A and B are shown apart, each in its own frame.
Chain A
Amino acid sequence: MRDTVPKPVLVIGGGIAGIQAAIDLADQGIKTYLVEKTPSIGGRMAQLDKTFPTLDCASCILTPKMVSAAKNENIELVTYSEVQEVNGKAGDFTVKVLRKPRYVQMEKCLGCGECITKCPLSVPDEFNLGMSKRKAIYWPFPQAVPLISTIDAEHCLYFTKKVCRVCERFCPTEAIDFNQVAETVELNVASIIIATGFQFQDPTRLAEYGYGKHVNVRTSLEFERLISATGPTAGQIVRLSDRAHPKSIAFVQCVCSRDVRINPNCSAFCCTASVKQAILAREHLPEVECTVFYMDLRAYGKGYQEFYDRARGEFQVEFIRSRPAKIEEVPENKNLIITYEDTRSGRLMKKEVEMVVLAVGVKMNPIQEFVNLPLDEDGYVQLSGSYLDSVSTRVGGIFAAGVVAGAKDISDSVTQASAAAMRASILATEGESP
């Protein structure tokens, strides 16, 4: 064992990749900052109901990792904060981080939720993609880490109209502080892991599918919230037009993926995710008829083909090889008519279903505002170019993990995160003598 104190490492992004990287670094005795822009770590995975191909409950795997990251004495969670600037070089980076005001003193808040109960203002809940409401003082979701309330200044009556202050009155520990201001902190780190994740492409760009116009056309993430026990319908799959259980659901693959007009890349996880959603739909509603429209079903991972086979056999999900050309709404009952060519028979077909789920493709969250990393022609962070190095970016000392380095599923993100942690730790332990 060398006689040195390792330098700290910064992990940007508190999704599953960032959490895994932070835990792996911290477990080696390296001080790790985990910066997350939203009030809680957890990321996209927190929004999922089950994971493929094992149908494990996503929260049941994720929440313990979130808690263990929070409890780890080598990890400093820097939530509700954004990296603003990265300077320096491998082994010696200076990073400016903006800590946004929660208007709640973190050291005082107990997470009792009294403020949330009393807050009179309800606003659309982004965690449920606007399909339910949350209060203006809120936790993003009940398992949030840290479980500390945050005031949404954009909506809060005090900030918009200078009235109310009910939360302040009811808080048992006087944690509310309307005078908090944003502050910038400076971190000195040996290496950086970018794990900033992804956002979904905009499905309204495919006007022919009618998303945003036809109420029963939903995205895969919205469907994920609908089947989630913690979702807006407490796990009931319903059509938003009439709150009835659909008797038929069509899943459409490659929406804003593998489409040169919008995004030529494959988004990697959607195929198996839709297989999973079709299986879950059949589990929730044994009567429902599920159809998946696909161009190529890319069930490439360990156990994924078997998962797909189960969907076709055991769960009797129908798979049609075709990319639908358009989806039209029946005005009377808000059902949807899908026009497609069944490419096996070469026939032009129309199919009426009660609900459509679009497997919308992804793109990485923008990072250019705070760090200048070259991107690949596919729009993701460019990796070193060596086939044998899947985590180094073009800038020494900065590593990438998760979807920011290319679309991938959870298990591949976690694998890449651990690899990135390993590489980041090498720079950290080359640090100064005591």
Chain B
Amino acid sequence: MKIDARLASKLQKLGATRLNRCYNCGTCTAICPLSKEDAEFPRTLIRYALLGAEQKLLSSPALWLCYYCGECSDSCPRDADPGSFIMAARRYATRQYSWGKVASVFYDSPLSSLAGLVMVTVLAVFGFLMMKGNGTFSSPNLQTLFSFQALHDIGLILGAFIGLSVLANVVTMSRSVRVTHDRISRTAGLRIWITSLLSSVMRFSMAQMDYLKCTNRNRYIAHMALFWGFIGLAVATSVDFIIGLGKIPLYPVPLQRIVGILSGVAFTAGAGYYLYKRIKKDERHVMASHFTDWAFVIIMFLAGVTGLLLTLSLYLGAGVAAYSLYGVHLVTVFDLLVLAPFTKFAHAVYRPVAIWMNQAGRNFSGLRATEGA
């Protein structure tokens, strides 16, 4: 096993500031509402980090299961803050799983992160300016502001870029996980993978049942609003994209727009809740915000707010407002989506994959146990 002697200090920089205090007593694992009998969670992970066992740390699906209720940090006799450690380890994993380690730009320093964000934003602004359309301020019509065909094509290219990036990162992640879960992935049949996928998706991604074990209702509702708001927006936008092609009327209000507005409200409210909590710092999970947390929540909130105001100004016929909001909206959405595979957003993919792998492993052991008996 390769040992990275600087692993602990890297994680400290990413937010696990009190990692070295750990006595390795196991209170965190035993208090964790998600701990199962076979979980290496969180003490073992801290141990890996302190020993410099990078592969062991990165190969643990448990890393992605945590919802940061903070009970481990509250009951830690050393105030080593295992909850913050898990978050830091995830940041590290997001960095390491990304192809070409591109995510290091967004994790290594606030300055490089900001520079990266500004570059992507400038690129977006430049790109949008290139696709000049023929809109007028008197009767705002977003479909004519830019060349709709160009926007459409760029959208597809970006979609492909994001999809391929996610795929590449997930492959890196799962190859990493298979280092320790090799036995399962080789021998577990296709059936186990499929049944595990179904149960993981239904129970843990769509309803996020485990989240309820970990947190108060408000935070759960906010996360669900964010999650389903995003899905709703994605669906509405896709429908516009596919069937709209430059001729979606304001009235009668099309169905996908109603879905989009409702989803947008949910999404913005969810993002607003998290932003408010991070400012207020009144619960364990928001006490220490890394700059990557701020960036993620602020961009989400901006994207949501501009989207809603944009729709409002369209219906009010406010041309200047509509066009400027559209500009900001497109740029923030661009930042959010293009950077998704390399930022905190990536957990939306890593977590379900980790849950799936974990579930497959568990189903497999369960099957073996019944067969053995």
- A interface residues with partner B (beta carbon < 8 Å): 208, 254, 258-261, 295-296, 322-326, 339-343, 346-349
* B36 / chain A contacts, CB cutoff of 8 Å: 348
15 A–B pairs (Cβ distance < 8 Å), ordered by A = A208-B31, A208-B75, A258-B23, A260-B78, A322-B30, A323-B27, A325-B27, A325-B28, A325-B30, A325-B75, A341-B35, A341-B43, A342-B26, A343-B25, A346-B44
Tell yes or no: B40 within 8 A of A by CB.
yes
The answer to whether A258 touches B43 (Cβ under 8 A) is: no
A348 adjacent to B77 (CB under 8 Å) = no
- New contact pairs (13) apart from A326-B30, A343-B24, CB-CB < 8 Å: A258-B23, A259-B78, A260-B79, A295-B24, A322-B30, A323-B77, A324-B27, A325-B75, A339-B30, A340-B30, A341-B43, A348-B29, A349-B30
B 23-82 contacts with A by CB, 8 A: 23-31, 35-40, 43-44, 75, 77-79
Give the number of A-B contacts (CB < 8 Å).
Answer: 64
In the complex, chain B residues whose CB is within 8 Å of the CB of A208: 31, 75
Within the complex, the shortest CB–CB distance from A350 to chain B, in Å, comes to 9
- B26 partner residues in chain A, CB cutoff 8 A: 322-323, 325, 340-343
Residues of B within 8 A of A (CB): 23-31, 35-40, 43-44, 75, 77-79
- Find chain B residues with CB under 8 A from A325 CB: 26-31, 75
Chain A residue with Cβ nearest B24: A343
A322–B25 CB distance below 8 A: yes
Determine the residue in chain B with the shortest Cβ distance to A344. Answer: B26
Of B23, B25, B40, B78, the contact of A346 (CB 8 Å cutoff): B40
A341 pairs with B77, CB closer than 8 A? no
* Highest count of chain A CB atoms <10 Å: which of B39, B40, B75: B75
A325 to B25, CA, bound (A): 10
Q: In the complex, what residues of A have CB within 8 A of residue B75's CB?
A: 208, 325
Q: Is the CB of B79 within 8 A of A261?
A: yes
Expressed in whole angstroms, the Cα–Cα distance for A84 and B79 within the complex equals 39
- In Å, the complex CA distance between A342 and B27 comes to 10
Query: Distance (Å) between the CB of B291 and the closest chain A CB?
Result: 27
Question: Closest 6 CB pairs between A and B?
Answer: A325-B30, A341-B26, A323-B25, A341-B29, A259-B77, A325-B31
Closest to B23 in A: A295
Q: Which chain B residue shows the least CB distance to A346? A: B44
Contacts of A349 in B (CB 8 A): 30, 37
| Residues of B close to A261: CB separation below 8 A | 77, 79
CA distance A349 to B26 in the complex (A): 11
Candidate in A258, A339, A342, A347 with the most chain B CB atoms within 10 angstroms: A347
CB distance from B296 to the nearest CB of A (A): 31
Point out the residues of chain A lying under 8 angstroms from B79, CB to CB.
Answer: 260-261
CB pair A254 B77 closer than 8 Å: yes
Q: How far is the CB of B44 from chain A (nearest CB, A)?
A: 5
Contact of B25 among A295, A326, A339, A348 (CB under 8 A): A295
CA distance A40 to B77 in the complex (A): 37
Q: Write out the residue numbers on chain A whose beta carbons fall within 8 Å of the beta carbon of B29.
A: 325, 341, 346, 348
Q: Which residues of A contact B43 (CB under 8 A)?
A: 341, 343, 346
| Nearest B residue to A320, CB-CB | B26
Measured CB to CB, the closest approach of chain B to A353, in angstroms, equals 15
A254 to B28, CA, bound (A): 16
- Check A348–B44 contact: CB distance below 8 A: no
Nearest-neighbor residue (CB-CB) of A348 within chain B: B35
Whether the pair A348, B30 counts as a contact (CB closer than 8 A) is: yes
Cα distance A341–B29 when bound, in Å?
6
Nearest Cβ distance between residue B83 and chain A, in whole angstroms? Answer: 14
Looking at the assembled complex, report how far the CB atom of B267 sits from the nearest CB atom of chain A, in whole angstroms: 36
Question: How far apart are B28's CB and chain A's nearest CB, in angstroms?
Answer: 8
